[in-house]
Amino acid sequence: MPESSQKSWSGRALIVGAGGIGEVLASQLADRCPHLTVTLCRRKPKDASDWPLDLENSESLSWLTQTLSNDHSPLRLVFNATGRLHGPSLQPEKRLQHVQPDALIESFKINAAAPLLLAKAIEPSLRRDQPFHYASLSARVGSIGDNRSGGWYAYRAAKAAQNMMLRTLSVEWARRFPEATVTLLHPGTTDTALSKPFQSFVPAEKLFSPKRAAGHLLDVLLQQTPAQSGAFLAWDGQSIPW
């Protein structure tokens, strides 16, 4: 999308997830597209402009559907910036014997199922003749073809599952909403809480600040068109093998 078109783009945009990348995405998108109403969706809103949303809660997703149905602004962009690599009950596995059933389910719930359920929740607000972007953070480690180091079973598999789900979604929406564009984006290793325990293995020049990562992601996303829907792209716009 040419820069001049971006500046005149109007309607509502949702950034879902207020982690290290999400908040910066919302700020940069508002700067680039001043006629867009950019709304940050998070589990616990910090101010009145935020919308409460928990992607793991079906009632919360139903609330989003209803809220959008009452919104007079056309929905132009939804960016899922959520993801979970580690937590109290979830740690990346170094080998097979570290795999735990509960951790597999937790990873798939937030990293694979949540992006698709978010798309389901916002779909009633889409229109056939209305340009729309749906983007979701993926990860290069979710590439089956690019997997050379192994490990991280749950996270890799959940991201690969997300890729398949949203690629399938892009095929359906191409028929039903021909102006919609679905994009899966790898942000690069970013200095956030998600990557913090693993940053010692990352060269300094390859560890991006959230500001830099968000800028790259928007550069790539806002150039995509419906003809390219379903792409799995890195922060620099290069295709990643499935």
What type of residue sits at position 147? N
Residues of the domain holding 150: 3-234
Strand order in the sheet with 51-52: 51-52, 36-42, 11-16, 75-80, 132-137, 180-186, 231-234
Query: Which of 167, 164, 224 shows the shortest CA–CA distance to 1?
Result: 224
Beta-bridge mates of residue 135 = 79, 183
pLDDT of residue 193: 57
Is 242 inside any structural domain? no
Report the b/e string of 140-166 with b at 16+ CB within 10 A.
bbbbeeeeeeeebbbbbbbbbbbbebb
Query: For every one of its 242 residues, what pLDDT tens digit does the chain have, with 9 covering 90 and above?
Result: 444 455 667 899 999 998 889 999 999 999 999 999 999 999 998 888 999 999 999 999 999 999 999 999 999 999 999 999 988 888 999 999 999 999 999 999 999 999 999 999 999 999 999 999 999 999 999 999 999 999 999 999 999 999 999 999 999 999 999 999 999 999 987 766 555 555 456 565 666 788 999 999 999 999 999 999 999 999 999 999 99
In the structure encoding, which two tokens stand for residue 227, read together?
A: 């003809």
CATH for 73: 3.40.50.720
CA dist., res. 111 & res. 164, Å (int): 12
Q: Does residue 179 lie in a domain region?
A: yes
Residue 241 lies in a domain: no
The pLDDT, as a whole number, for residue 3 is 47
**Amino acid 90: pLDDT:** 85
| Beta carbons within 10 angstroms of residue 85's beta carbon | 24
pLDDT, residue 4, reads 43
Number of domains composing the chain: 1
